[in-house]
Amino acid sequence: MKLVVAVVQDKDSHALSQALVAKGYRATKLASTGGFLRSGNTTFLIGVDDAQVDAVLAIIEETCRRRTQLMPPSEVGGGTESFAPYPVEVSVGGATVFVLPVDRFVHL
């Protein structure tokens, strides 16, 4: 078994959630915040059999789009050391995905 951890943009989370449920996958959505932009995103936890990982990745790829965000100077990075006196264009998504092995899965 594997745990797919996918960080996606909030704008894509509803479509991804719907697509996963429609195909019979179970998922948990967590509200999360990106460390760089410090804006909201959504983290999905999806527990699947090994053979289902590629299908889940395909669903994520189909539903999550890459977008460009223009960040105001004051929101660039985390502190004054990374301050830039001009807006910075950042390409975000479609998704940042980690696939982790699951030692044990218990559903009580």
Interface residues with ligand 2BA (CB under 6 A)?
Answer: 7, 34-37, 41, 90-93, 96
Q: Which residue is nearest to ligand 2BA (CB)?
A: 34
Could you give the CA distance from residue 105 to residue 59 in angstroms, rounded to a whole number? 23
To the nearest whole angstrom, how small is the minimum distance from the Cβ of residue 21 to ligand 2BA? 23
Q: How far is the CB of 15 from ligand 2BA (least distance, A)?
A: 17
Considering the complex, state which of residue 40 and residue 54 has its C-beta at the smaller distance from ligand 2BA. Answer: 40
Q: How far is the CB of 32 from ligand 2BA (least distance, A)?
A: 6
Helices (H), the chain: 10-22, 53-63
CA distances from 6 to 39, 41, 49, 57, 61 (A): 16, 10, 16, 9, 11
Q: Which is nearer to ligand 2BA, 80 or 108 (CB)?
A: 80
Q: How many CB atoms lie within 10 A of CB 35?
A: 8
